[in-house]
Amino acid sequence: MRKLKKRSLTKQSRINMNFLFLLGFLLSSQSGFDLNLPIVFYSDRTGNSEIFIQYPGKAEPINLTNSPAQDLCPAVSPDGKRIAFLSDRRGFQNVFVMEKDGNNVAQITESDVVIQHPSWSPDGENIYFVKDYNSRTEIWVMNADGSNPKRLTANQCRDVRPFLSPDGSKVLFMSNRNGRFEAYIMDQNGSSQQMIKNNENYHIVFPIWSPDGKKIAYSLTNEKNLTAEIHIMNSDGSGDVAITNPGRINENPCWSPDSKSITFQSDRDGNFEIYIINIETDGPKRITNNSGWDGWPNFMPIELTK
């Protein structure tokens, strides 16, 4: 009889433990972090740059590319089904696209100059990118299959990191045409280029729209001290606030699909790792932990299924 009672208590204890675990999980999912979304990034932890995906609750990320080439700068499509990235596996650095699990890799640009910074249009129909001509860089756009490329900028400077606004009307980018890097916007066809944010002392780099179109995140970079802070501002450049502390390098922000959290790369713990921060309530949460360089994070906007 006592044995039967003991087994019953053990079963009840397990039920209680499972309940507490579930409660903790639910509370963490309400903390403001998109902990249920995978994060795609690139890392040199294997000796060369590879594209990885970090699933929530998993100790180690999965290598999606497994190539001896340099694979870097992933950009997740809006539906979360495809990943654009850069690779030099066939000579010059070009844009490739693969499925979210790393299968069906296809090269979509054939350029004899280095390609940089791919990003998707919100409808997934186009990919924006940059061509590097050594003394200058220019912003281009093409169909998602690589067809119909069009140049959008033509300046003797460095125009980089293009992102189309959620409503499809404006392209956000950074440019050093006035000396320091500043945030600019232009119409979808490349016209009406105008600066929306500058700083007299520091560079404004890695600007990116929030998915709701209300905010822009960027890194305010002190080139002399080698430090950078993540800032957010309204889409017109007003209401600027820092969301990370000074003294380290915090850069390359990317928004969560609900526009509440930002993932970014930072050396705050001595090595570049990936973090998530809620823009209103929480401090940064570290996502990766490896002696290699981890960076260029993207949320993958899908619901995980068991």
pLDDT computed for residue 36 by the predictor: 77
**Tokens representing 193?**
């280029």
Residue type (1 letter), 289: N
**Tokens representing 295?**
């960076």
pLDDT computed for residue 22 by the predictor: 35
Interval 44-87: pLDDT, tens = 999 999 999 999 888 899 999 999 999 999 999 999 999 999 99
- Is the separation of the CB atoms in 163 and 172 below 8 Å? yes
Q: What angle do CA 191, 298, 69 make, to 5 degrees?
A: 95
Interval 210-219: pLDDT, tens = 999 999 999 9
Q: Report the alpha-carbon distance of residue 187 to residue 281 in Å, rounded.
A: 34
Burial of residue 44, with CB atoms counted within 10 A of its CB: 0-12 exposed, 13-18 middle, 19 or more buried:
middle
- Mean pLDDT by groups of 10 residues along the chain of 306 residues: 36 38 35 69 97 92 96 97 96 95 97 94 98 95 97 96 97 96 96 95 97 97 95 95 94 96 96 94 89 96 55
Could you tell me the pTM of the whole model? 0.86
pLDDT computed for residue 303 by the predictor: 53
Domains and CATH numbers, the chain: 34-299 (2.120.10.30)
Cβ neighbours of residue 301 under 8 Å, at least 6 residues apart?
A: 37, 76, 78, 79, 80, 257
Q: Report the alpha-carbon distance of residue 110 to residue 188 in Å, rounded.
A: 23
pLDDT computed for residue 33 by the predictor: 46
For tokens 């009406």, what's the residue?
192
The number of beta carbons lying within 10 Å of the beta carbon of residue 193 is 17
Q: Which of 77, 61, 97 is nearest to 301 (CA)?
A: 77
- Is the separation of the CB atoms in 123 and 89 below 8 Å? no
Instruction: Return the half-sphere exposure (C-beta side, CA atoms, 13 A cut-off) of residue 272.
Output: 19
pLDDT computed for residue 133 by the predictor: 94
